[in-house]
Structure 1
Amino acid sequence: MPLNSPRPPAAASLTMVTASMIAAVPMITVVMYFVLAPDDGLGEFPTTVALILLAAAVAAYSVCELAGFRTAPMQHGGTPAQVEAASWQRFTASTFVRFAICEAVFLVSIPLAFIVKSYWLVLVGAVLGLALLVWEVWPGARNQRRFAAALEARGVPSYLTGRPQDYTRPRDLG
C-alpha cells in the first residue's frame, strides 16, 4: 500500500492488537527470570532440550508457510467496501491462527524450563518465538500480499493491499 494512501481501520486495529500480543513475550520472559533464575542463575544450557525447541520452531514455521496463508478464494459480488471488510476479517482470523502456532514455541519453553531448571530455555523459546511472530504474524506488506494472493485466486480483487483509487493520482489540470 502506498505511503500516502489511507489505511483501513481494520489494518490499524490488527496492527495494534498484534503488537500488544507480541509484546507479551518479552514481558513474560522477564517475569520468568524472577521465577527461574534467582536460585541458580541462568542454569546449565540444556543442548538437547534446546534442539527440541528448535525443532518445534521449524515445525511452526513450516505449518505457517505451507498452510497459514491458505484460504478459499473470494466470491464474485458485493461492493468494494464489503469485499475489503470480508478480506480483512479473513486475514485477521488467519493472523490469529498463525499467532497461536508461533507462540506455542515460546509457551512450550516455559514448562520445559521448569522441568530442566534452566532459564536458558525460556530465552531460547523467546528468541525463536519472537522471530516467528515478527515474520509470520506481523500484518505487514509481505503477509498481506501472500494472503491477498490466495483470496484473489479466482480473479476477484480482495482490496486487502489497497483499492485502485488508493493508487491513482489526480491529473494535473494545468
Structure 2
Amino acid sequence: MNMFLHNINYDKFDIALGNTLMEPQFGDDKPFDAIVSNPPYSVKWAGSDDPTLINDERFAPAGVLAPKSKADFAFILHALSYLSAKGRAAIVSFPGIFYRGGAEQKIRQYLVDNNYVDAVIALAPNLFFGTSIAVNILVLSKTQTQYPNSIY
C-alpha cells in the first residue's frame, strides 16, 4: 500500500500470498538487506506438530521451535534467516515476546547471545487500527556492533 501511495509501480516489486512459515517464498532471492515486517501477533502454527521444522534452516540455529500457540518468534527467526550479513530487519511485535518463558526465553537468549538485537523500540498504545495494545519494534542485524551484548 505504501509503495502504491508513493507512486512506485507494481512491476518494481513482488508480492506473494501464502503461509510464510510453512511455505516460504523468495528463497531464491535471499538474502535481503532490508526486511520490514508486521506479522500477526501470537497466532497458532504447526510448531512441534511438524517434526521437520526443527531441522529447517530458518529455525534450527535457535535449537528450539516457537510454541505452537504463539508463532511470534517463528516469524522473527524466519526474517532473520532471510537477512544479509549487512542487512537490518525491523519487526513489529507483541510485547509478550520479551517476557514469556519456555521456548521463547531460549530463542530470546539465542538472539542476544549472537548479538542479533540492535534495538527494541517501545511504541505507545492505540497506534494501530483495531487494537489498543502497545507494541514494540524489534530491530535485528547480523553485523556485530562495537559493543557486543549491549542493548539500550
The normalised TM-score by structure 1 is 0.22
More helix by share: 1
- Specify which structure has the bigger relative contact order, considering alpha-carbon pairs within 8 angstroms and separated by 6 or more residues: 1
More strand by share: 2
The normalised TM-score by structure 2 is 0.24
